[in-house]
Amino acid sequence: MLVLACATSAAASGWTLDELAAALQGRTSDQVRYTERRDISYLSQPLFSEGVMRFEDGVLLKNVTAPDPETFEVRGDQVIHTDADKTETRFDSGRNPMLRGLVVTLRAILGGDMAPLRDLFDLELSGDENAWQLAMTPREGVLRDYLRVIALDGRSGDVRQIRIDERNGDKTVIQIEHE
Amino acid sequence: MNEMLRRLALPFFIGLIVLGALAVRHVPISTDMSFFTPEEQGAAEDFLFNRMTRADGVAMIAVNGNDAAADRIAARLGDHPSVTWVLRDGMALDDKAVSFLIAHRYTLGPDLAEDEFSTDRMKAQIATWLKKLGSGMGPLYRDVFPRDPTGRVLGLMERDGQFGMRRDGGAWQKKPGRTMMLAFLNIGADDIPGHAEIRRVLYDAADDVGVLVTLSGPGFFALNASERIRSEMQLLAALATVGVAIVLFAAFRAPIILITIALPVGFGLIGGILMTSWIFGSVHGVAIAFGSVMIGVAVDYPVHLASFRRPDEAGYAVARRLFPVMILGAATTLAGFVILSQSSFPGLAQIGTLTATAIVIAVLFSRYLLPLALPERGLDLRPGRFLWAGLRARPGLRRGVRYLFYALPLAGLAAAMFSGNALWDDDIRHLRMASETEIRLDRELRTRLGMPDISHMILIRGGSRDEVMKNQWRASQLLEQQVKEGRLGGYLSITDIVPPPSIQQARLDRIPDIGELRTRLNQVLVGLPVKPDAFDPFFDDILAAKRHGPVSLDVPALHDLTLMMSTPVEAADGWVNAIQLVPPIGIQTFDVEGATLINLREMASGIVADYRTEGLELLLVGAVCGFVIVIVGRRGARAGLRVARVPVIAVAVTVAVLVLSGTPLSFFHLLALVLVVSIGVDYELFFAGYREGPAAGEHSFGSVMLCFVSTFVVFAVLATSKIPMLHNIGLTVALGAAVSFLVTIVRGDEGAPS
């Protein structure tokens, strides 16, 4: 039923989820630059960071260049974080719903792996190939308790923006530049 | 009728042995350190040797592979029911433990900062938090920040990496392509089959993933040692059995003798184990091992019965004839073991009880039941007759050598005394079964994992649990100082996580009231990008902490936080606990109220020395009793002295040879020397002391020679063992038996009853 709804929604806009998946998989460059703005409800000013992300052999790598250098290496659900003084920390991305949603999304848009997205979210695609929007609403469980929606804006196989709205009022917006 | 009895006897006895072996299977056999600890032990010995060795096991693992491989291995290991937790390098505590630590952060963990709630500190800490929130890890900290304007949570994380698990503010030492793991087990370090199962699971997982793993831990040491002993014992036992079988077969040409010889020893051992278990409640594995060796002299009884048997003489007739000599020899040996059974060391007492019971059973069995199963054919006396004739023909040679045997032990002992070589060896390290490779690997894994040293710890004592906690808290403060000054790598103390209740209460009392905290925070937040109500969760936490009061040591949620640390236990004379030390350990002494630095190696060596001293004292008393028995049995001091001469010379020469060759004596040599004494008495009683028949000396010589050759083969094979304990026993008994035999035959028929 859901698949049908998604297909209907996508068909109406002339740009389907399958086409989007194919476009994401067909991307030639796997490395992107990004800037991130995080608005936390109890802070009066947003927090900014920037860096590079890439997907390589099933591993998602995120190199933060500012405000402080740090790296994230995501293998499956395992996240390995290395901070500026090379201290390594390992954790399961499932520990934090916001991180989990972000990891799944990044794997999909950088690696073209849409299956987890379809499992975890209700997907609503609108627009056309040159300017599409994908609204992802968590279906159930902890993800739904924490996340309101993850919205992607893009053109063809390139995602331009990721916006994460959390139920506690926090917002994260990631602007992506494709190299 | 007799013939029928004889035919039925052997299968009947074998059936009984099988039944006895089945009964022994139900005897609780212990393998812990209780063997070495005295019954009237102090709190320290009890705690360090019993409770610490029975503590839950731990597996230190290095995976030579990438992270994905390590993940798969950790998952497989974690699925095993005996594994409570697999800790990977850089891995955090689980959320439940972290939540508990955060909820009780003002009472648990290290002391609060002097200025914990000052405006300056809060301003600085909030700035640090904001930086963390802006980092890629920000989402993980998002909900903690509003609870922690004083940076207490940050402090706990920085001190211990991730909330109380890492030491020295850093991660485990990591090599590229290698992942360290620590698996906490819910089985004791003395559960050898349990550790074998864990090792199998780990190796199978590593095989499936296609990587190499290395593994160590106290339980795995014990597992490796037990496997090494078992495989070596199997090989040596097979070699010795083949050797003895060849000798006996050559002598009797009757395969049945092999079974006959095993019967008194078998019944004796089974009876000894059952009796020891009945008296002590369980039997220690070491007592069984030594008991089996000590009753070796019982093997001689069937040999004598078969050897001295005249053609056409009934089995019972020869048994009746030899019984007075057999019982005298057995009583002499028994004296030593009965005295040993009164030792305050359970291990010694068990060896004494087991061996004494076994000898009584073996000698009675040989007298009353074994004759039923004796082989028809007597000993082939030709080799004995030939050698004996040769010896008799050279009285001059024998006289000359005889003086040599008086001079040799005296000269040997004198040389040994003045050689400067150590007489006693009490170093516990010489008793260990681990190979150099295993010890090196263990040291390397311990260093990489920041695990505590196993030979040093701080022992804490007190009249109550609270007093132990208070003493431990004070000791930990001083150790912290030593760590800061670089004299100590680190330490693991439960009070670093759970301070004594009085300290926890004092901390809670230091927290300003909510109104005051609110005022201070409002001042701090001026100019910072944080909304005024951001820290409401902090005020809630403060109120909850004050309401809850101190955290008890018994709270189950503390389990994961304190996995590596021991908790106070009630001992014989109060309460005790330990602080484990992480190398490098540069402190030589540490003696503050209720806390003492213990060098476990020295302590264990001290216990080994006590063991040896008590064993020596009891055996000397036993020797005197044995001597009195011989005097009474031989009806005169002169005749008694003659019997005592052989074992005395044998022991003296053996000791001299060992010491001169640079082998100081241990407790195990002492036990082996008891067997040498038994053998010496046996040879003397049966050779010089018992003559009968037309060809006097031929039977005696043949029988004693056969006993000697069989004993020598068994213990010479044992002497080739790579395990020091077995090698020592083998060498000592082989040497002692050889000297006993030579002295016996050289003395010849001197003093023999006509």
3-state SS record for B316-327: HHHHHHHHHHHH
Apex A167 CA angle, A161 and A168, nearest 5: 105
B135 and chain A: CB distance < 8 Å anywhere? yes
State how far residue A174 is from chain B, nearest Cα, in angstroms: 12
Which residues of chain A neighbour B133 with C-beta distances below 8 Å? 38, 40, 43, 47
Position A20 confidence tier, pLDDT thresholds 50, 70, 90: confident
Query: Of the candidates B90, B92, B133, which has its C-beta nearest A40's C-beta?
Result: B133
A86 and chain B: CB distance < 8 Å anywhere? no
> What is the predicted pLDDT for the residue at B1?
45
**B389 and B340 belong to one structural domain:** no
**B258 and B278 belong to one structural domain:** yes
Element of type H or E holding B667:
helix B667-687
Element of type H or E holding A170:
none
Q: Among positive and negative, which fits the CA dihedral B290, B294, B296, B301?
A: negative
E strands, B379-486, are 456-462
Q: Using CA coordinates, name the residue in chain A closest to B534.
A: A42
Give the number of A-B residue pairs with CB atoms closer than 8 Å. 81
Average confidence score pLDDT of chain A: 82
- CA-to-CA distance for B307 and B300, rounded, in angstroms? 10
Q: What is the dihedral of CA B453, B458, B460, B466, to 10 degrees?
A: -70
- Strand, helix or coil for residue A57: coil
> What is the predicted pLDDT for the residue at B379?
62
If one counts every other C-beta atom within 10 angstroms of the C-beta of residue B143, the result is 12
B13 inside domain:
yes
CATH at B273: 1.20.1640.10
Are B260 and B465 in contact by the 8 Å Cβ rule? The answer is no
**B656 and B681 belong to one structural domain:** yes
CATH at A92: 2.50.20.10
- CA-to-CA distance for B27 and B693, rounded, in angstroms? 47
Continuous H helices in B184-342: 192-209, 218-252, 256-280, 285-294, 300-308, 315-340
If one counts every other C-beta atom within 10 angstroms of the C-beta of residue B743, the result is 25
Residue whose tokens read 């900062």 = B113
Are A74 and A124 in contact by the 8 Å Cβ rule? The answer is no
Which residues of chain B neighbour A57 with C-beta distances below 8 Å? none
DSSP A81-126: EE-TT--EEEEEGGGSHHHHHHHHHHHHHHH---HHHHHHEEEEEE
Query: Of the candidates B135, B139, B534, which has its C-beta nearest A68's C-beta?
Result: B135
> What is the predicted pLDDT for the residue at B92?
55
Which residues of chain A neighbour B95 with C-beta distances below 8 Å? 95
**B365 and B326 belong to one structural domain:** yes
B647 inside domain:
yes
State how far residue B236 is from chain A, nearest Cα, in angstroms: 50
- CA-to-CA distance for B158 and B161, rounded, in angstroms? 5
Q: Which residues pair with A82 in a beta bridge?
A: A71, A88
- CA-to-CA distance for B727 and B717, rounded, in angstroms? 9
Taking chain B (754 residues) in runs of 10, the rounded mean pLDDT of each run is 71 87 82 62 63 68 83 90 80 72 90 91 92 83 90 70 37 62 84 91 94 90 81 84 84 77 88 92 82 77 83 84 90 89 86 92 91 71 68 69 77 81 76 78 84 84 92 92 88 90 94 94 92 93 94 84 81 84 84 85 80 86 90 87 89 91 86 89 80 62 86 90 84 94 73 40
- CA-to-CA distance for B154 and B162, rounded, in angstroms? 10
Query: Of the candidates A44, A49, A80, which has its C-beta nearest B529's C-beta?
Result: A44
Q: Which residues pair with A54 in a beta bridge?
A: A31, A61
Which residues of chain A neighbour B136 with C-beta distances below 8 Å? 49, 62, 64, 70, 72, 81
Which residues of chain B neighbour A87 with C-beta distances below 8 Å? 161, 170-171
Query: Of the candidates B161, B162, B530, which has its C-beta nearest A44's C-beta?
Result: B530
Domain count, chain A: 1
Query: Of the candidates A47, A83, A87, which has its C-beta nearest B138's C-beta?
Result: A47
Give chain A's radius of gyration (CA, Å): 16
Domain count, chain B: 2
- CA-to-CA distance for B545 and B524, rounded, in angstroms? 23
**Beta sheet of A31-39, edge-to-edge order:** A88-92, A78-82, A70-75, A59-66, A47-56, A31-39, A171-178, A158-166, A147-155, A131-138, A121-128
> What is the predicted pLDDT for the residue at B655?
92
Query: Of the candidates A62, A78, A88, which has its C-beta nearest B71's C-beta?
Result: A78
Phi-psi category of residue B57: left, alpha or beta, with phi > 0 → left and psi -120 to 50 → alpha: beta
- Domain end: B363, B380, B397, which one? B380
Checking if the pLDDT of A95 tops 80, the result is no
- CA-to-CA distance for B125 and B114, rounded, in angstroms? 14
Structural domain of A110 = 2-178
State how far residue A90 is from chain B, nearest Cα, in angstroms: 5
B347 and chain A: CB distance < 8 Å anywhere? no
> Quick one: tokens of B531?
């909304």
B513 inside domain:
no
Structural domain of B667 = 382-420+636-754
B46 inside domain:
no
**B350 and B413 belong to one structural domain:** no
> What is the predicted pLDDT for the residue at B35?
65
> What is the predicted pLDDT for the residue at B260?
82
Which residues of chain B neighbour A95 with C-beta distances below 8 Å? 95, 140
